[in-house]
A and B are shown apart, each in its own frame.
Chain A
Amino acid sequence: EIVLTQSPGTLSLSPGERATLSCRASQSVSSVLSSYLAWYQQKPGQAPRLLIYDVSSRATGIPARFSGSGSGTDFTLTISRLEPEDFAVYYCQQGSFGGGTKVEIK
């Protein structure tokens, strides 16, 4: 079973700053599954929302400031300029979920 480790646990930033979130898999997947990774955003009291799928594709309605990248075992979610509504918890998923990164207002 692949374990996803997210870092940092908490990211303290100000609106307008760039956020870089990391997700590391315990082992690389086969070429067939190499593009299989998603990112979700969860706000307090709400269900998670799909942001990014297939490592780098934005889901419907997701702003361009959200981007995903990576390959093998190392993946990154970048928020180019944080908006007030972006402060939330973010999870990566590849089968199971990572432990999450909380992006909080500094």
Chain B
Amino acid sequence: QVHLQESGPGLVKPSGTLSLTCAVSGGSISSSNWWSWVRQPPGKGLEWIGEIYHSGSTNYNPSLKSRVTISMDNSKNQFSLNLSSVTAADTAVYYCARKGFFLGSGHYYFDFWGQGTLVTVSS
């Protein structure tokens, strides 16, 4: 069973950079899956932020692309999110998740999630 755990500061100042790490256990991030970040502002819906493949390829939400960087550290079996120039609108619960490969159709879906971590942007 794959387990994901987010970690990082719960409070970030406006204009600063939000940095989170997702530690993966029970599976290798070098496997053929996408490793993703999803966020959820308080009381609102889910927003996909971006993802990274074991090869290092990345995809980002166009609305956040200019501010987002996702990277991975195979030696530590973890991946990270950096979101720059944050504002109060970036306050949210941030989830890391695995997009696993489903054999039938060859599509990828979010099959394992971390518990989420609340990040508040405030001075």
Contacts and interface: CB of A to CB of B under 8 A. Distances in A.
Interface string A49-68: 11001100101000000000
A84 interface: no
Contacts, number: 54
Contact of A36 (B45, B48, B107): B107
Nearest to A38: B109
Q: Which range holds the interface residue count of chain A?
A: 20 to 34
A50 B107 contact: no
B42 to A, nearest CB: 12
Nearest to B61: A96
A47 B116 contact: yes
A55 to B, nearest CB: 9
B37 to A, nearest CB: 13
A54 B105 CA distance: 7
Contact of B107 (A42, A48, A53, A100): A53
Contact of A38 (B38, B104, B110): B110
